[in-house]
């Protein structure tokens, strides 16, 4: 457990924000200004399924409850959610979630308003309220991790299409053959790209590091880029171009004021952001150029817990969830 200490807040004036993903569960107590008071980060045991994650959530709520009940509890879930009822529609990563009434389960364990939404939607709200998108509307958030997801916030509220989802930019097609953004720009896609090139580009520092430390090969990109490795720069150029092309469709349809990039792949940093920002205008109609601002997530790993807190503050905590 890692702990961040804020200036003292009233003991009753806090929220709990929870992230449920395919590889990690994260829970935090969050102050009304978006600051993290305390956080818990736990790895997901896929063999344990949803039952194991529910046990983690139950234990986390008990540990994070400061005094009495929180003012609200929000959850960002990694998969399609019926945000009106708080029922999980499906998980693409963990067994046992399909159709589960997560809101009801939570409300049996804590007396406070509860709100649940897709994790990318929640992250978008967090960046709009407290992060890189503050003061910008509409905001398009894109998370580039084990998959690629998206969320749209307009005038401080999440845009919701018809259930079960919306703004699935990871499934936008890059060509008529069916190649999608997720197959080009997710962490697993970049890992596969590096592995495929390792044999034919053995002189590359990136391939050397990937061979020496296999698994999650994309993590070696930063060091290789800083070393001037040509292959690393070629891969960055290709990822950025594919992402910019995919984002251009969203820009033409939604015309966001800002595009915020988050997720593990953005740990490449400013080099990645700058490449996407440079390439995006190449795919935009002249009237939309130079296009929206492109920014990196300011909240980084805390974006979902902070956004989950913002769910309650932005849409009427006094009315409760159900």
The residues spanned by each domain of the chain are 15-125+301-319, 134-298
Write down the pLDDT at residue 321.
29
pLDDT of amino acid 66: 77
Distances (CA, A) of 229 to 184, 196, 207, 226, 242: 20, 17, 10, 8, 20
pLDDT at 274 over 90: yes
On whether the CB atoms of residues 76 and 307 are closer than 8 A, the answer is yes
Q: What is the mean pLDDT of residues 190-215?
A: 87
Mean pLDDT of the chain: 91
Beta strands in 2-125 (DSSP E): 15-20, 24-30, 36-43, 73-77, 81-82, 87-88, 114-118
pLDDT range class, residue 43, cuts 50, 70, 90: very high
pLDDT above 70 covers what percent of the chain? 93
pLDDT of residue 315: 53
The residue ranges of DSSP E strands in the chain, in sequence order, are 15-20, 24-30, 36-43, 73-77, 81-82, 87-88, 114-118, 139-144, 148-154, 157-158, 258-262, 293-296
Pairing of strands 139-144, 148-154: antiparallel
**Maximal C-alpha separation, the chain:** 62
Summarize the chain as % helix, strand, coil (round to 5). Answer: 45, 20, 40
Question: Which pLDDT score is estimated for 312?
Answer: 87
CATH number belonging to the domain at 134-298, selected among 3.65.10.10, 3.30.420.40, 3.40.50.740, 3.40.50.720: 3.30.420.40
In Å, what is the CA distance from 83 to each residue of 21, 42, 165? 17, 24, 9
How far CA 140 is from CA of 19, 146, 303, 318, in Å, comes to 19, 19, 14, 28
Cα 209 to Cα 19: distance, rounded to the nearest angstrom: 31
Residue 212 has pLDDT above 90, yes or no: no
**CATH (one of 3.40.50.1100, 3.60.15.10, 3.30.420.40, 1.20.140.10) for 15-125+301-319:** 3.30.420.40
- Fold identical between 15-125+301-319 and 134-298? yes
Its sign, for the CA torsion 21, 27, 33, 37, is: negative
Mean pLDDT for the stretch of residues 164-186: 95
User: How confident is the model at residue 150, as a pLDDT?
Assistant: 97
Which pLDDT score is estimated for 35? 94
Averaged pLDDT, 131-155 = 96
d(CA 241, CA 74): 35
Pairing between strand 15-20 and 24-30? Answer: antiparallel
Q: What is the DSSP secondary-structure string of 298-314?
A: SSGGGHHHHHHHHHHHH
Stretch among 81-85, 87-91, 206-210 having the lowest mean pLDDT: 206-210
Weakest-pLDDT range from 107-116, 210-219, 313-322: 313-322
């Amino acid at each position: 457990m890692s702990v961040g200490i804020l200036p003292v807040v009233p003991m009753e004036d806090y929220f709990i924000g929870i992230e449920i993903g395919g590889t990690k569960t994260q829970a935090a107590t969050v102050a009304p200004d978006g600051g993290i008071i305390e956080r818990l980060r736990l790895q997901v045991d896929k063999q344990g399924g949803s039952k194991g994650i529910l046990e983690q959530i139950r234990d986390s709520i008990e540990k994070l409850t400061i005094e009495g009940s929180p003012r609200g509890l929000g959850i960002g879930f990694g998969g399609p959610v019926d945000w009106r009822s708080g029922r999980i529609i499906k998980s693409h990563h963990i067994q046992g979630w399909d159709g589960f009434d997560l809101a009801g389960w939570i409300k049996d364990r804590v007396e406070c308003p509860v709100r649940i939404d897709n994790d990318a939607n929640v992250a978008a709200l967090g960046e709009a309220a407290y992060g890189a998108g503050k003061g910008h509307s509409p905001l398009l958030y894109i998370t580039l991790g084990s998959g690629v997801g998206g969320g749209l916030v307009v005038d401080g509220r999440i845009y919701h299409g018809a259930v079960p989802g919306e703004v699935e930019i990871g499934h936008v097609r890059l060509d008529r053959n069916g190649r999608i953004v997720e197959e080009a720009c997710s962490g697993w896609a970049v890992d596969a790209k590096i592995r495929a090139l390792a044999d034919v580009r053995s002189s590359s520092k990136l391939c050397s590091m990937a061979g020496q430390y296999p698994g999650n090969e994309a993590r070696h990109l930063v060091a290789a880029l800083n070393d001037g490795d040509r292959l690393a720069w070629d891969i960055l150029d290709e990822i950025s171009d594919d992402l910019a092309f995919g984002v251009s469709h969203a820009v033409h349809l939604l015309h966001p004021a800002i595009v915020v990039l988050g997720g593990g792949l953005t740990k490449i940093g400013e080099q990645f952001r700058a490449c996407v920002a440079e390439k995006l205008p190449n795919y935009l109609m002249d009237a939309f150029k130079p296009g929206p601002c492109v920014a990196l997530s300011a909240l980084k790993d805390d974006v979902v817990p902070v956004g989950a807190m913002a769910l309650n503050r932005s849409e009427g905590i006094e009315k409760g969830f159900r």
